[in-house]
Amino acid sequence: MTNTVILPKRKRRPADKTLPVIMTLLMMMGLVTLYSATYYTAQSNGDAFSEVKKQLFGMAIGAVAMFFTSRIPYWFWGRHKVAVGGLAISAVLLILVIIPGVGVYINGSRRWLRLGPLSFQPGELAKYSIVLFVSLALAARGRRVKKFFSGIIPVLVPSGVMFLLILEQPNLSTAGTIVIVSVLLVMLAGAKWRHMLVLGTGGFAVGAYYAWSAPYRRERLLSFMDPFAKMSDEGYQLSQSLIAFGSGGVFGMGLGQGRQKYAYLPYPESDFIFAIVGEDLGLFGCLVVILLFIAFLFAGMRIALRCPDAFGCLLAAGITSMICVQAFINMGVVVGILPTTGLPLPFFSAGGTSVSITMAAVGVVLSVSRTCDPMP
């Protein structure tokens, strides 16, 4: 970033109330669904509420973090040292996590760092550090974003580095989400459509090559097209997910009455928790969740559009997009319209550190809303 973004200190207003209300509704549905998904296995350890308690602990930490981030003026995050520092810390943590013996190896991936009794996924922090850096860099460039090599490419280089580091875990879904949101921010900043076409084509080519370059990824890609043909192998998880949706029908089997969580569906508490929604609450419950995420998207984007400066606008839009893109990719995977990837559903999937970081990021959006122009 060659220019410094000077952000005006404006009169602060009350924070937006719509966004936290929608987030609370999502988390309430998430807790109920998480209990339904985990009580069968959790009770064998003597506490049917164990996973829910862990999630509540993460939400409590997230609520405190959101309280503070919503009251820190968002232009604090627009300081060069803060943006670059967050990027550097994320990169160091991502390097540590792929070192054998340092990163925690689970189910063929090395995505976690152990901090005493807690585990932490650096990719979660990396997502929002990239949003912060790209938002500031684009705001600093102004009209130079119209130029491809001098305006856009330097901004996307850190996103590409994060993409490569996260691929080493491997974690294509999180890496891809970072690139998708970075490109969306470039588009919102006013890039030319032909440049966007070049970026989209290049991204698709890289993703296709990566997905096809290893046998296990190729098998996973092919299995998503016809999961029941590969039900004994790569298609098993998606097949069980589709069975859950089919069993749920329109109104579901009833809360907690679904059967796929009884050791049929792998990871019902995390990547495939939306299938539990489909089986217990049916199509109706799924539509409620989808509409809530759409409402979250509109509320976050309304804050972004009302922000008087480019940095605040891009920051709010980037955080909102990161959460919603992740949600829609997860739901697309679970219903079989996207290849199977390991990506949690925000506010639903088990993971205390994930939900706390996400809530802290929502607090930043609320901070932006405090300086928004009032609605006409």
DSSP summary character for residue 100: B
Phi, psi of 118, rounded to the nearest 5 degrees: -105, 150
Contact 336, 41 (CB under 8 A): no
User: Prior bond to 170 cis, omega within 30?
Assistant: yes
Place of tokens 């076409």: 197
* Cβ-count burial 109-130 (b if 16+ within 10 Å, e if not): ebbbbeeeeeebbbbbbbbbbb
Other C-beta atoms closer than 10 Å to the C-beta of 65 total 18
SS (H, E, C) 163-220: HHHHHCCCCHHHHHHHHHHHHHHHHHCCCCHHHHHHHHHHHHHHHHHHHHHCHHHHHH
292, amino acid identity: L
DSSP summary character for residue 74: G
**pLDDT 10s digit of each residue in the chain, 376 long?**
445 555 555 556 788 999 999 999 999 999 999 999 988 777 777 777 888 999 999 999 999 999 999 999 998 998 999 999 999 999 999 998 888 777 777 766 777 787 766 777 888 899 999 999 999 999 998 888 999 888 899 999 999 999 989 888 878 788 889 999 999 999 999 889 899 999 888 888 877 777 777 676 677 666 677 788 777 777 888 999 999 999 999 999 998 888 888 878 888 888 899 999 999 999 999 999 999 999 999 999 999 999 989 999 999 999 999 999 999 999 999 998 888 777 899 999 988 888 999 999 999 999 999 987 554 4
| CA distance from start to end of the chain | 35
- Let me know the angle formed at the C-alpha of 125 by 180 and 19, rounded to the nearest 5 degrees: 75
Which tokens belong to 176? 């891809």
Q: Which H or E run includes 21?
A: helix 18-42
